[in-house]
Amino acid sequence: MARLAGDQPWVAPFRSVTSDLLVVRAIDATLGVEGLPQSGTGQATLFTGVNCAERVGRHFGPYPHSTTHDILRDHNLFRRVEDASMPVNGQTHAATFANAYPDGFFDWVSGRGRWTVTTFAAVETGLSIRGSEKLARGAAVAANITGEGWPDPDPGIGPISETEAASNVLRLHRRHRLTLFEYYLTDKAGHGRLEVPAESVIVDRFLGAILDGLDASEDTLIVTSDHGNIEDLGQKQHTRHPVPFVAWGYGASHFGNVETLQDVTPAIQRLLSRTESDT
Ligand SMILES: [Zn+2]
């Protein structure tokens, strides 16, 4: 993680770095709205470029607020990438969502459950949500990276190493213009809902293996968060702290003006539109 942030630890004060191949900074997650940031509005803002906390009038979560469904449907990152890019390597879609979900998630959603921001955006864009079968083939990644404790019995599923999980992400990345992976154990640890030490959910090896497998002259890796939480273990709620933002590699210079969650998706879209017109 230090390597990703320009040789510094991920603690305040987070030194800004701006170079051709690396942009590192702390960005705002409060969106000009009082109260503690929540995932429903934070993620919807991060993945649409529209300030959804402002639209709802408060921070809301963890699921998307009904007044943001239309924005999330029409302006989400997957949709923007699909509109800006052609699929590559014989795929149907230019964008993909790498996370796998267990059978129980699909049962819950088809019952009275709700899609999360990310799954809602993927489904509304026509992308399929990966399940156990894809995870078993290494064509998806478990939310906890290693797949340890995966609820569906399948001899092909985990636990695998963080390095192997990174290889699986990289394989998806080579077949798509945008590959999104969502990691939320840091949030669960920050809420005190895990039985393991908070430090153990910091996936340093996974990120290291991703970096090892990328080529800075043609790939771009973006890492950020929808709100603070785990950085303050003295309390169990989200925080109003700024969140880390890293853009590493080929497209980093397109992210030099990112100041808040709202700026991330438009910058990704600009990068992809530019790249598409060059190829
Ligand atoms: Zn949370």
Dihedral sign computed on CA atoms, order 191, 196, 199, 204:
negative
Burial of 188 (0-12, 13-18, 19+ CB in 10 A): middle
Instruction: Compute the distance from residue 237 Cα to the ligand 1 centre, in Å.
Output: 7
Q: Is 4 helix (H, G, I), strand (E, B) or coil?
A: coil
pTM confidence score: 0.95
How far, in Å, CA of 83 to CA of 264, rounded? Answer: 17
How far, in Å, CA of 31 to CA of 145, rounded? Answer: 30
Instruction: Compute the distance from residue 231 Cα to the ligand 1 centre, in Å.
Output: 12
Q: What is the mean pLDDT of the chain?
A: 94
How far, in Å, CA of 274 to CA of 279, rounded? Answer: 9
Instruction: Compute the distance from residue 277 Cα to the ligand 1 centre, in Å.
Output: 39
Instruction: Compute the distance from residue 253 Cα to the ligand 1 centre, in Å.
Output: 31
Strands 220-223 and 243-249: antiparallel
Instruction: Compute the distance from residue 180 Cα to the ligand 1 centre, in Å.
Output: 19
Contact 141, 165 (CB under 8 A): yes
The string of pLDDT tens digits covering residues 92-131 is: 999 999 999 999 999 999 998 899 999 999 999 999 999 9
Instruction: Compute the distance from residue 32 Cα to the ligand 1 centre, in Å.
Output: 19
The string of pLDDT tens digits covering residues 217-275 is: 999 999 999 999 998 999 999 999 999 999 999 999 999 999 999 999 999 999 998 87
How far, in Å, CA of 206 to CA of 208, rounded? Answer: 5
Q: Which residues surround ligand 1, an ion (CB under 5 A)?
A: 187
Instruction: Compute the distance from residue 37 Cα to the ligand 1 centre, in Å.
Output: 9
Instruction: Compute the distance from residue 227 Cα to the ligand 1 centre, in Å.
Output: 8
